[in-house]
Amino acid sequence: MNKKITLFSLLLCFSFLMARADEGMWIPSLIGKNYNDMQRAGLKLTPQDIYDINHASVKDAIVSLGGFCTAEIVSKEGLLFTNHHCAFDAIQSQSSTSNNYLENGFWAYEKSQELTSTAYAAILDHITDITDKVLPAVQGLSEQERRTKVAKITDSLAKAEKTEKYKMVTVAEFFNGNQYFLFVYDKYTDVRLVAAPPAAIGKFGGDTDNWMWPRHTGDFSIMRIYAGADNKPAPYSPNNKPFVPKHHLPISLKGIQNNDYAMIMGFPGRTNRYEFSREIEMRQNVMNPIWISYWKTITETMKADMDKDPGINLKLASVYAQKMNYYKYAIGQTAQLKRLRTVESLQKREAALRSWIAYDVKRTEEFGTLFDDMNKTYDDFKPYDKYRSIIRYGVSAEPFLGTIVLSMYGMGYEAVNSPSGSDEALKKALGQMKEIGADFFKDYNAPTEMKTIAKLMVMMYNDIPADQRAPEFTAIFEGSTDQAATAEKYVAKLFKKSSLDDDTTGLNKFLDNVTRKSFKNDPFIKFMDMIFGHYRRNYFAKSSAEQAQIALLKRMLEMNPEKSYYPDANSTERLTFGNVKEYDGLDAIHYNYYTTAEGILEKEDNTNEEFKVPQKQHDLLMAHDYGRYADKNTKKLPVCFLTTNDITGGNSGSPVMNANGEQIGIAFDGNWEAMSGDIDFSGDQKRTICVDVRYVLWCVDKIGNAKNIIRELDIVE
């Protein structure tokens, strides 16, 4: 099918997936199309001030931190601001029960005290549109042929751009394969921890306040990029020097007002704004309930063990925080999709589109079967939606099963099952596992994993339709009068007989001597074969066919080149612009656009770990010792504020900038009333929650006494 519907006509006539005010995650190299709107919103910079490949610009200060967060360069010596939760692994890995930086905070008063981390910092060099090199070569191909051809072309283009070992080159697909861009970064691997507040500040409010407003969380940390003598990326060395950037952001203490211009640049992970109603219906009624159920079990099991032992608490803190964040996200997304009646809204738009097609004979001939084809595709795979969701949100979400066992199984599958496979091919396929294992086992507690896996086994047995379960999986529970006890006994045998759970020593020994036979005979690999392998052999092809068909149908809805629409987020650098703004929550609730330190004292409860306030912070706030960081109008210490910017996961740590490109805050969360925003953007209620940079500097100055950091910044008052 090479037929195309001009989506602009549908948007104009039927408001099909119509963008709302402040909606949009824009590609920085194309912001010229949005510049007039940005000026109307209050921007005072030029497009070249924001993105320029020949001269220093704002894009040179924006950093992809570890591929999952954003950071920004704020000094001429490579200093980075980001979120506390983005540096959580770095803080945790350097902590111990006797020297707990998570609990007590960390402040480096000179560069020799800064701590190493495993994070990397990728700085965008340039973006190239390669669409004209891809699309002409794939016309008329089947979906499978198309994917193979696209991969071959983009791999070749990426290799040509990797002119230095430290270059990181990625190719991203936009608009369901209607457009392709190549992104080239400089990747710095020597990134060190400079400062982090105590968790009582960095995580104030904990899971209770997560995704909620009003907020009083000091969600920040500070890191630094180091480079070789030539200022280029280099492996860690004590001889490395602080990186000298092309551009760094000045810090504004001038304050903010309602409706002030606000701009965010960062690396949003994934949105799904152009999905059909049937996709959202499945997410709302099948996928998310599985997600919530399984992640609830995982987090409750982890928390029970963490509460019993400070060492286990420290070891599992990072993984637990991540799981809880997404667990609550799934709850909120489901609730807001229902509240906003997103499925019903999309159904009405699709009905209007059907009518528009049916109104014209030519359109009917070309596109009359589009929705019938789509619905048949969904109907054909609907019986397997639950099993697919269990794999995605059950098996892959369990830390040990998802990170170690499923990764190994997936990497080694072809080498083990292909007639042309070999022991050498298997070892090569598993080449990344030592690195994965080294990172994983630092956050690992076998007794907790045993409990979690046993509980998930029972859930999977009861949730996977009986006629879809692998016979050998069903056999485990045959005749059992106590499913929990049966699962616990089975899991105990897995852990006793397998080599994969014996920390990095056991895993590495297994990998060094692995053969196809030893791989297939490992108890955990056998277990994964019962769950995921059975799905892959019997249902994966159906799922792939469904996804390919839906992608094809979506690609038929080509964007009008004369109208500017933004693509879904896909972890590439984006810009979003809007304003500082208050909002109305649910019925009869109005929220101000900022919070102050008074709210910290109002929430203070030292019997509750989520709302403890360190004594030093308490005393300073009680004395109103705000220094130069108090708001000039209210005379209060600002903590957090709201903007209308369009962000999602991956934007954590992104700089919030004013009309002059000066940093006013750090983005770290979204609000509860708009948790469906990755799918259905609610312009009236969608807000980004940001920690005010004045509160960040107050913590650095007053809590950490880190005057050295304050002196390093370019502060505008």
User: Per-residue DSSP letters for 370-424?
Assistant: HHHHHHHHHHHHGGGHHHHHHIIIIITTSHHIIIIIHHHHHHHHHHHHSTT--HH
- The dihedrals phi and psi of 368, each to the nearest 5 degrees, come to -60, -25
Topology (CATH) of 5-120+189-272+568-582+610-716:
Thrombin, subunit H (2.40.10)
pLDDT band (50, 70, 90) for residue 663: very high
Instruction: Reply yes or no on whether the pLDDT at 560 is more than 70.
Output: no
Closest by CA to 680, choosing from 288, 212, 351, 275, is: 275
CA 550 to chain centroid: 24
Distance CA 32, CA 466 (A): 56
Between 406-417 and 433-440, two packed helices, what is the crossing angle to 10 degrees?
A: 160
pLDDT for position 12 = 34
d(CA 629, CA 693): 9
Burial 551-574 (b: 16+ CB within 10 A, else e): bbbbbbbbbeeeebbbbbbbbbbb
How many CA atoms, within 13 angstroms, populate the side-chain half-sphere of residue 239?
4
pLDDT of amino acid 143? 78
pLDDT tens per residue across span 366-376:
777 878 888 88
- Assess whether pLDDT exceeds 60 at residue 13: no
What gap in Å lies between CA 495 and CA 454, rounded to an integer?
11
pLDDT band at 564 (very low <50, low <70, confident <90, very high): low
Summarize the confidence of residues 550-573 as an average pLDDT: 67
Residue 590 in this model has a pLDDT that exceeds 50: yes
Q: φ and ψ at 435, to 5 degrees?
A: -65, -40
What pLDDT, on the 0 to 100 scale, is given for residue 20?
52
Cβ atoms of residues 118 and 86 within 8 Å: no
Closest to 458 in 3D by CA, of 473, 440, 437: 473
Higher pLDDT, 209 or 413: 209
Confidence label for 221 from pLDDT (cuts 50, 70 and 90)? very high
**Section 189-208 average pLDDT:** 97
3-class state of residue 194 by DSSP: strand
Cα–Cα distances in Å, from 455 out to 237, 394, 484, 486, 487?
45, 11, 7, 10, 7
What residue type is 372 in one-letter code? D
Model confidence pLDDT, tens digit, residues 291-310: 999 999 999 999 999 999 99
Q: Is the pLDDT of residue 216 over 70?
A: yes
Helix axis angle for 143-161 and 540-555, nearest 10°, is 80
How confident is the model at residue 128, as a pLDDT?
A: 95
Chain-centroid distance, C-alpha 250: 27
pLDDT(15) > 80: no
DSSP 580: B
Contacts of 666 (CB under 8 A, 6+ apart): 72, 81, 82, 83, 219, 220, 653, 654, 655, 656, 690, 691, 693, 696
Residue 546 is predicted with a pLDDT of 67
Question: Dihedral of the CA atoms 569, 571, 572, 573 (nearest 10)?
Answer: 90
Whole-Å CA distances, 152 to 129, 130, 131, 146, 157: 17, 13, 14, 10, 9
Q: What is the pLDDT of residue 10?
A: 41
CA distance 320 to 302: 7
Residue with tokens 């994983």: 440
Distance CA(278)–CA(545), nearest Å, equals 16
Given this model, what pLDDT does residue 1 score? 34
Domain positions in the chain:
5-120+189-272+568-582+610-716, 277-554
**What is the share, in percent, of the chain residues with pLDDT greater than 90?**
79
129: exposed, middle or buried (C-beta count within 10 Å: 0-12, 13-18, 19+)?
middle
Structure tokens at 294: 């399984």
User: Nearest to residue 66, comparing CAs of 125, 124, 123, 119?
Assistant: 119
| Residue 463 CB neighbours (<10 A) | 17
**For residue 545, pLDDT beyond 80:** no
Q: Which residues are catalytic?
A: 85, 219, 652
For residue 8, pLDDT over 70 is answered with no
CA dist., res. 68 & res. 705, Å (int)? 30
pLDDT band for 556, please (50, 70, 90 cuts): low
pLDDT tens-digit series, residues 232-258 = 999 999 999 999 999 999 999 999 999
List C-alpha distances in Å: 134 to 15, 156, 182, 567, 685.
31, 11, 11, 18, 39
Q: How far apart are CA 478 and CA 483, in angstroms?
A: 9
More confident residue, 186 or 275: 186
Q: What are the tens digits of pLDDT across the range 638-655?
A: 999 999 999 999 999 999
What are the pLDDT digits (tens) for 400-447? 999 999 999 999 988 998 888 899 999 999 999 999 998 899 889 999
**Cis link prior to 214 (omega < 30° from 0)?**
yes
pLDDT of residue 579: 97
Element holding 704 (H helix, E strand): none
Going from the C-alpha of 110 to that of each of 92, 101, 195, 196, the distances in angstroms are 21, 17, 11, 14
pLDDT at 158 over 90: yes
* Residue in 254, 84, 265, 263 with CA at minimum distance from that of residue 638: 254
Proportion of the chain above pLDDT 70, given as a percent: 94
Q: Residue 653: what residue type?
A: G
- Tokens 């007053």 belong to residue: 702
* Residue 655, SS3 per DSSP: strand
> Element (H or E) spanning 213, and its range?
none
- Average predicted confidence (pLDDT) for the chain: 91
State CA 194 to chain mean position distance.
23
Report the b/e string of 607-642 with b at 16+ CB within 10 A.
eeebbbbbeebeebbeeeebeebbbeeeebbbbbbb
C-beta of residue 216 within 8 angstroms of C-beta of residue 640: yes
d(C-alpha 453, C-alpha 457), whole Å? 6
Q: Is the pLDDT of residue 90 over 50?
A: yes
> CB–CB of 382/281 below 8 Å?
no
The amino acid at residue 373 is D
Q: DSSP letter at 681?
A: -
Question: Tens digits of per-residue pLDDT, 322-375?
Answer: 999 999 999 999 999 999 999 999 898 888 888 888 888 887 887 778 788 888
Once rounded to an integer, what is the mean pLDDT over residues 559-584?
82
Which is more confident, 123 or 346? 123
Query: Does the pLDDT of residue 161 top 90, yes or no?
Result: yes
